[in-house]
Amino acid sequence: MANLKEIRNRISSVKSTMQITSAMKMVSAAKLKKAQDAITAMRPYANKLTELLQSLSATLDVDSGSKFADQREVNKVLIVAITSNRGLCGAFNSNIIKQSNNLINNVYAGKQVDVLAIGKKGNDILSKTNTIIENRSDVFDALTFDNVAEIAEKLMSLFVDGSYDKIEIVYNKFKNAATQIVMTEQFLPIVPMESDANVQSDYVFEPSKVEIVEELIPKSLKTQLYKGIRDSFASEHGARMTAMHKATDNAGELRDSLTLTYNKARQAAITNEILEIVGGAEALNN
């Protein structure tokens, strides 16, 4: 059995760890509320923009397709992996890395696949086995639409100039604090819109529907990327809060177990001392 001093040191160490994990949990909980409100407020706008784009595109002629809808033979693929800059958030980052590697090694096996990393953790791991064309972990320093739009514009440029035939986004979708869903979304080319016979066409468009769609598509793509990063940001804090909650609970159980062990060892030591005193007294009497 370990000596009392060693057990006391371990209990002290566990208590210090509990204080750290508990503080990190509270910080993540505070940040989660703000991030959750942001993504919840944004989703209706993003969904309505997509709905409007689908409604307009469904009424256009096939020949009026956008340059962002160019369906080419897929030989060069770009994976946009959205992770976090910091760890201690459970399987949040490893799930994205695992899905990215699955796309690279299985889905697009035999093709040229590069990665654009958004987040330091994804860049650090994926760069060991893949080509990283750029690391934009700085976007989390100031997560604004304008900063994300800059990345989206580069992705659109890379697709239009033929550098890549397909661009996919991999991120964690926020469901709740304990649940994040790994999503793989096709960013470019845009998914063909299915025509709807019930689409209302009794509107006067100014300018033409084609011009409106051409204006909406870049806006929609920027919003799609921004929503993905916002989702990932909220998911990160939810995952970290959950991970730190579990870590705090586990540390509490370990502390209680060590305290019990300490008390047993202390009791055994006291009992041995009493026995030695009694034994010494008996020896003197004899």
Task: Provide the H-helix boundaries in 114-208.
Answer: 120-126, 145-160
Question: 88 exposed, middle or buried (CB, 10 Å; 0-12, 13-18, 19+)?
Answer: middle
C-alpha torsion angle, residues 78, 88, 129, 184 (rounded to 10) = -30
H or E segment and range at residue 98:
helix 92-102
**89 noted as active-site residue:** yes
Q: 166-176 and 179-188: which strand pairing?
A: antiparallel
9 C-beta neighbours (distance < 10 Å), count: 13
CB 227: neighbour CB atoms within 10 A?
23
SS3 7: helix
Distance between CA atoms of 165 and 72, rounded to whole angstroms? 6
Active-site hit among 77, 89, 156, 229: 89
- Known catalytic residues? 89
